[in-house]
Amino acid sequence: MAQHESTYQPNTGVERWLDDRLPLPRLMHDQVNAFPTPRNLNYWWTYGGILTFCLAVQIITGVVLAMHYQPSAEMAFDSVEHIMRNVNWGWLMRYTHAVGASMFFVAVYIHFFRGLYYGSYKAPREVLWILGVIILLLMMATAFMGYSLVWGQMSFWAVTVITNLFSSLDSIIPGVGTAIVEWIWGGYSVTGTTLTRLFSLHYLLPFAIAGVVVLHIWALHVPGNNNPTGVSVKQNSDTIPFHPYYTTKDMFALTLFALLFAWFVFYAPNYLGHADNYIEANPLQTPPHIVPEWYFLPYYAILRAIPNKLLGVIAMFGSIAVLFLVPWLDTSRVRSARYRPLYKWFFWLFVITCLVLGYLGAKPPEGAYLTFGRIFTAYYFIHFLIIMPLLGAIETPRATPKSITEDVLDKASKGDGDAGAIAGVSGAPAAPETR
């Protein structure tokens, strides 16, 4: 796929001159305009573009907010209110940035579940997947640091709790954990010193994410896109050029996504936040009920499910780390869950597990909530470590189509219900053959 012949034609003298010196137009033409993309991608494949949009929105609004924000313990909380009340359009910038973080995670989680459903992590896309997990980790670090900058009660205590995770290393080598935590804090507790360095890193990390995104797209463009059948591209008729087919589809999906985004920004900007964060940080009082932002709730439930500090921390980080191993834990030869009768069910069971863990993470750590937290935490790991490797051995996959073209044309002629709505919108029958 990536080895496809360049079809770039420099037509003017300027283009020819530049093509000999910095062939950037050629790169854009071959990797964006003409890039051969499977003709059967459904709407779950539009989240890559949506995520790029989210990153751009966060960087642009973030740069603007940094022009008005003061990263000191004395000024931080007030400067956020200053942005909200005094700065021209400050309310819009801040709400877009805050809601944007949530939208970013909505999109990234859908993107991950898409990958898990269609086996997009399998050979030859392991590196692509691993880069995705690295981006997720960077996003989490960035989101956490950004949340701390508001310097409300939830901000302050979230920083306290999360930085203290490292003190669990004390139970391996006494003193090391404490030394690391004091190094992060720059003191003996969370103070303005800590806030300033979190601000510095919060500004840095999005650009690191942008860098890894470039690698992610590069790693995508070597094997090319996976697709709903999971069958590799075999012939020219399996693909259509990215532009105008997928640029249009991506733009349409992005517009719908932007509607949801705008609804939150303009009608429910604080719905996804926590009221306690409108109380300024107080190092002498922990709020009665600490909860992280919604996108961290499942991990928080895992952390609290285990009654041992170090093991709880290991399980929490392990819940992400296990994703790195997914390409090798899944032993099935078939990529797409569409042709995996058992995996399909376990996939949805896993989605439910994540949602339930999210619900439990918001509840107080006692009684039945704790019991269920333990059951679902166990199942989270069982899914990856036991079910995934086992299914490859015991499951009999259904026959996969010979090619993408065959699958698409079969469906079009039979009016198959499976992806009927999707096929209808994407206009698969109308998609012309590529030359």
Partner 1 sequence: MATDQSDSTRRDFLLVATGAFAAVGGAAALWPLVDQMNPDASTQALASIEVDLEPIEAGQAVTVLWRGKPIFVRHRTEEEIKLANEANVSDLPDPEARNADLPEDAPATDINRTKKDHENWLILVGICTHLGCIPKGQRLGDKKGEFDGWFCPCHGSHYDTAGRIRKGPAPRNLDVPHYEFVSDTKVKIG
The site for partner 1 (CB under 8 A) is made up of 157, 160-165, 167-168, 170-171, 182-189, 191, 193, 197, 283-290, 303-304, 306-310, 312, 364-366, 370
- In the complex, least distance from residue 188 CB atom to partner 1, rounded to whole angstroms: 5
Residue with Cβ nearer partner 1 (129 or 151): 151
- In the complex, least distance from residue 99 CB atom to partner 1, rounded to whole angstroms: 26
- In the complex, least distance from residue 305 CB atom to partner 1, rounded to whole angstroms: 10
Residue with Cβ nearer partner 1 (32 or 184): 184
Residue with Cβ nearer partner 1 (71 or 230): 71
Residue with Cβ nearer partner 1 (96 or 319): 319
Residue with Cβ nearer partner 1 (124 or 187): 187
Residue with Cβ nearer partner 1 (22 or 284): 284
- In the complex, least distance from residue 282 CB atom to partner 1, rounded to whole angstroms: 10
- In the complex, least distance from residue 303 CB atom to partner 1, rounded to whole angstroms: 8
- In the complex, least distance from residue 201 CB atom to partner 1, rounded to whole angstroms: 11
Residue with Cβ nearer partner 1 (74 or 416): 74
Amino acid, res. 184 = I
- In the complex, least distance from residue 143 CB atom to partner 1, rounded to whole angstroms: 19
Task: Give the contacts of 264 (CB within 8 A, at least 6 positions apart).
Answer: 99, 102, 103, 271, 272
Residue with Cβ nearer partner 1 (26 or 309): 309
- In the complex, least distance from residue 263 CB atom to partner 1, rounded to whole angstroms: 33
- In the complex, least distance from residue 311 CB atom to partner 1, rounded to whole angstroms: 9
Residue with Cβ nearer partner 1 (230 or 312): 312
Q: How many residues does the chain have?
A: 435
